[in-house]
Structure 1
């Protein structure tokens, strides 16, 4: 169904190849692929058929090294299932208020000599705010900060991890 919709929209994957992304909270699969006609990176799931596509030129403009959200998130059983993209570095885990949340690497693509990798992570709906992101870059450990606020005005003020 997902690939049929992609073909109708002109975003069919190169060689009908795609990667399944899974989340630690059981959400998924989310599919990710490179569109044959445009080269864009596209994602969709059976719950969100047309999440969207991101042009390679837009991916190339991302801060490098850096980590940010990618395309969107889905609410599943009280957790946000979030797609992250690391640009020129790898993500070990993210944490907030002393809790670690595992990430899963799912899809990588080099753009202009920089490796961009999409990760999945599930975070509690009620724990939105700025997370610590443990990364590896240039052979050493580093830390990034990442705002994961998927809903405005949900619960209390966003947390500062």
Structure 2
């Protein structure tokens, strides 16, 4: 991401009242080539926000909405974008870390993008890229308190010919 685009995204966030706290943000990337995406905590509201050059303002999620997410658990954070036949998805894990997701015996890596603690629970935003035609309930390989754990994740962005 060029410095000009980064400044454009951050300027728009400031105009919308969602400037990053302390001017700090994280650059998140996807295996599909989508993005990169900036993720930050808004200075005024504390909400977690994201934007990219292609989607200048994906949006912000208030801390109150994050606090009520299942703990432990993992779900879609701010939606998905389609690129090169793959969904580029933002996930948020609560009270666990995600190592990979899988469907029909195929493993898909995740990339850690941003972490924040809300109501004493660690919340971690990840990026993942999955084929457009492979949707449904994914298995999540996770760790909770250092021990291996499994979780389920619904990825159903549109109708797909193959279901997990």
TM-score (norm 1): 0.94
Match of 1:96 in 2: 103
Q: How many positions carry a matched residue from both structures? A: 157
* 1:62 corresponds to which of 61, 65, 69: 69
Q: Residue 32 in 1 paired to residue 44 in 2?
A: no
Match of 1:16 in 2: 23
Match of 1:143 in 2: 150
TM-score (norm 2): 0.93
CA distance in 2, matches of 1:149, 1:129: 5
* 1:111 corresponds to which of 112, 118, 128: 118
SS at match of 1:57: helix
Ranges in structure 1 where 5+ consecutive residues have no aligned partner: none
SS at match of 2:134: coil
Q: Deviations over 1:6-28 (max 9, x none)?
A: 01111111121110000112222
SS at match of 1:10: coil
Distance change in 2, residues 1:53/1:127 (3 Å): same
Distance change in 2, residues 1:120/1:6 (3 Å): same
CA distance in 1, matches of 2:33, 2:92: 20
Q: Deviations over 1:43-62 (max 9, x none)?
A: 01011111110011111111
SS at match of 1:5: helix
Ranges in structure 2 where 5+ consecutive residues have no aligned partner: 1-7
User: Which segments of structure 1 move beyond 3 Å, counting only runs of 4 or more?
Assistant: none
| C-alpha RMSD of the superposition | 1.0
Q: CA deviation at 1:138?
A: 2.2
Q: Residue 122 in 1 paired to residue 122 in 2?
A: no
Q: Residue 85 in 1 paired to residue 92 in 2?
A: yes
